Structure 1
Amino acid sequence: MLEEAGHRVIAVDLPGHGIDHTPLTEVNLKSYTDCLSAVLDKESEKVILIGHSMAGVVISQTAEYFPEKIEKLVYLCAFLPDNGQSLFDAFGIVDLGDDAPTAVYIDEAQTYIGLNDEAIYSHFYADCSEEDFQYAKSKLVKEPLIPSVTPVQVTEERFGSVPRVYIEGLRDKAIPIKLQRAMYAKMPCEQVITMDTDHSSFYSHPEELSVNLLSLA
């Protein structure tokens, strides 16, 4: 839909995700930022960089390295960490009570993050069609733990110089709306867009999401 509107779109498979089969034990936050930085390095124009969920951490740290390459950062139901804060640290900034997510588990060796099968639909794809849910579920992988416990190191001079937009999902159970709002209250964005959606609006409400993204271009 974005391409039909005249934009060029690059969807990135981070190491250990999608078609990239880098072993979990070899992946850290730098692996992610190196991958994304390599994409940015090839671009002659500034990009609008969108991070969903965990990738909010990745786009924040990458913006510290390449602020001159990024026109705008868009956090789509994403983690928005403060300097010195990891993804997991973000859960400590607000008491979620009964809304605390239950989909994620960490293996005994503390090497990867997995998902409890019975909670995947309700936490990530509650508004999706059965077809989209099954497709999305087939793409899920175990994620290395290290990137999620590594604090970001960002400065106001570099990361802070890039405009930020947050797109919140009111019915997100993976990153509950209470946590989303606590994060962007602590790390203010120039604009907040509200969608009455689950965690994965690119599957469940693609037309509405595309309209919102096009409004930022």
Structure 2
Amino acid sequence: MVRHIMFVLFFPLFLWAAQANQSENIWVKVGQIYGIEPRLLYSIAKVESDLDRYVVAFSASKMTPKQAQELQAFLKQKGIESKQYSQVIAIKSKNKYEASHVVHFLYTRNYPRFDMGIMQINSIHKPLLDKANISLYDLFDPKINIQVGAYILATCFERHKNTKDAINAYNGKIDDNPYSAKVFKEFKKLYSSYQSGKTQLYYRNPS
């Protein structure tokens, strides 16, 4: 099953992104490809980035004092806004050009692992992206970012048959993680007709 998902990601990603009709619903299309309820993908994106395609975020506590100082100077020079939420710093670029500069700055200077774009894809996945000919900068294209996020979520479902654990795994921590509760809260808020147990969130049959 995982090999099938890998094939979907590694071959038709850019081809589909280039040919997709502009009126096509990206969430539905990607959900069909990976066997994931489209509204779940949307809810995760809402929790992760509030649907901000250019945001870059990481743990501020993992920076060295020198890195914190250099980042502040860089953002001030470029006129790029940032906000800190608890221990997470979110850098909010206005466009792909700015966001790409932020990623280049963080990656080439060995900053802590960071999340990018609408589904907040973590830089830990760079080896996977390299195999698919996807650059970190490509993740600021929502079509690409959402499909990569769906692939990662699908692999989480393959490894963790429990829905809660799979969704928490997408966030990087399974136990004692309130992340899945936030996602379900968003899901229910956006789609009031949802009733637990009646909507299948992952509908591929593991082989």
**For the superposition of Structure 1 and Structure 2, which TM-score range results when normalised by the shorter chain?**
0.3 to 0.5
Greater percentage in strand: 1
> Greater relative contact order: 1 or 2 (C-alpha under 8 angstroms, separation 6 or more)?
2
> Structure 2 length as normaliser, TM-score?
0.34
> Structure 1 length as normaliser, TM-score?
0.33
